[in-house]
């Protein structure tokens, strides 16, 4: 759907990317990073000026820092600008052990795109 919408030059006020887990383990991180970059690059092309992107990853093997770098790489490639409105994560009733960073698998960004 993303590629078809880009090809049709459609524009949206809000795009939500909530893909399935792209990396089931550390060996799949590079391939997953390419997948996240691809879908986010497509999404940036679909958002009208001042619109919003909500983008998520549920891959525990992808850290929050890496996810943000991937999204910003896609943003740079798109030639657009964006502001972080909010960093998103699981709700407060979903605590995570300090000794298990992979437990913080749900991460997201709400971006305003220009």
Catalytic center residues = 58
Rounded to 5°, angle at Cα 17 from 77 and 112: 60
CA distance 67 to 29: 10
Task: Give the span between the Cα atoms of 33 and 35, in whole angstroms.
Answer: 5
Which residue bears the tokens 């030639």? 79
What lies within 8 Å, CB to CB, of 43 at 6+ separation is 2, 15, 17, 53, 55, 74
């Amino acid at each position: 759907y993303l590629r078809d919408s880009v090809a049709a030059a459609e524009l949206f006020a809000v795009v939500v990317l909530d893909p399935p887990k792209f990396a089931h383990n550390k060996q799949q991180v590079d391939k997953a990073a390419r997948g996240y970059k691809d879908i986010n690059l497509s999404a940036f092309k679909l958002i009208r000026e001042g619109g919003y992107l909500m983008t998520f990853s549920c891959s525990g093997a992808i850290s929050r820092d890496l996810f943000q770098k991937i999204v910003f790489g896609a943003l740079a490639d798109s030639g657009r600008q964006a502001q972080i409105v909010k960093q998103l994560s699981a709700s407060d009733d979903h605590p995570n052990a300090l000794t298990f960073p992979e437990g913080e698998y749900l991460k997201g960004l709400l971006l305003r795109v220009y």
